[in-house]
């Protein structure tokens, strides 16, 4: 099976320079539908689904292979290789921000720019580092998710999304969570929330933009500041957008910030 088949890859757009969009936890490529139209005329758009989500093929999945975010970075590189993509602009949301960091560190010659939306290299507070969650918080979150994934999804999705005045967005995220492969989603949650990629940030040589939302319960502002401080030469934009999914809740602001970065 090719990576293109495995990850339900879709390529469109009138340009030559590729933008590869990578969705966050529990989501799929449809989450970029408000963003991609702004780039179709100038770029080649590449969308895909992480294994276990969207219309990906799960037949090759095993926890022994997908035991860390590094395996997901390898999937990104496999897509790039099969499509012969170079000078790639990688736009990653949430956990895919760190997946992009890992991919760019493995093959820096493959990427020209990284856009990290709501990144977090480590969710657990550790000494002087504030990730936003205590060990007990994370344990409780994972236990709740593993014991009743569907209830967890319906409860947590609106919290993660924020924007309570737009309940349809939280409902869409919950529906996306619930349509995922539950076993893989549980594995991926454990890997995501227990990951620690802080040491990988200083290795980044790719030009990087960090988009930090306001009132983000998953990746609070202090985390965005940390990522900015650790990635050499990175740029940080504090957005007015509230919550963890500005690609859905504030597409215009997200598009503007990305376009400003791509001009440089």
Sheet holding 88-93, edge to edge: 10-12, 44-47, 18-22, 88-93, 111-117, 207-214, 235-242
Among 23, 50, 75, 94, which one carries the catalytic annotation?
A: 94
Among 49, 75, 207, 216, which one carries the catalytic annotation?
A: 216
Exposure of 25 in the CB half-sphere (CA atoms within 13 A) = 25
Reply yes or no on whether 244 is catalytic.
yes
Q: How far apart are CA 102 and CA 201, in angstroms?
A: 9
Reply yes or no on whether 93 is catalytic.
no
What is the end-to-end Cα distance of the chain in Å, rounded?
38
Q: Who's near 149: CB < 8 A, 6+ residues apart?
A: 177, 178, 182, 185, 186
Reply yes or no on whether 214 is catalytic.
no
The candidate with the shortest Cα–Cα distance to 118, out of 228, 7, 5, 3, is 228
Catalytic residues: 94, 216, 244
């Amino acid at each position: 099976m090719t990576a293109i088949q495995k990850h339900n890859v879709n390529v469109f757009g009138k340009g030559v320079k590729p933008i590869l969009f990578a969705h966050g936890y529990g989501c799929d490529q449809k989450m970029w539908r408000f963003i991609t139209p702004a780039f179709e005329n100038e770029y080649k758009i590449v969308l895909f689904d992480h294994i276990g989500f969207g219309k990906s093929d799960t037949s090759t999945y095993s926890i022994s292979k997908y035991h860390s975010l590094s395996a997901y970075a390898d999937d990104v590189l496999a897509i790039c290789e099969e499509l012969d993509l170079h000078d790639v602009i990688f736009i990653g949301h949430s956990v895919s921000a760190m997946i992009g960091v890992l991919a760019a560190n493995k093959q820096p010659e493959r990427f020209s720019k990284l856009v990290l939306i709501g990144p977090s290299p480590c969710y657990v507070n550790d000494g002087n580092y504030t990730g936003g969650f205590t060990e007990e918080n994370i344990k409780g979150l994972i236990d709740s998710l593993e014991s009743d994934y569907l209830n967890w999804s319906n409860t947590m999705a609106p919290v993660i999304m924020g924007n309570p005045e737009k309940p349809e967005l939280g409902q869409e995220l919950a529906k996306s969570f619930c349509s995922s492969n539950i076993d893989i989603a549980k594995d991926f949650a454990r890997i995501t929330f227990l990951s620690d990629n802080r040491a990988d940030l200083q290795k980044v040589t790719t030009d990087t933009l960090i988009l930090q939302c306001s009132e983000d319960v998953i990746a609070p502002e202090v985390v965005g500041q940390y990522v900015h401080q650790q990635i050499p030469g990175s740029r940080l934009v504090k957005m007015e957008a509230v919550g963890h999914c500005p690609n859905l809740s504030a597409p215009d602001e997200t598009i503007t910030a990305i376009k400003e970065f791509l001009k440089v």
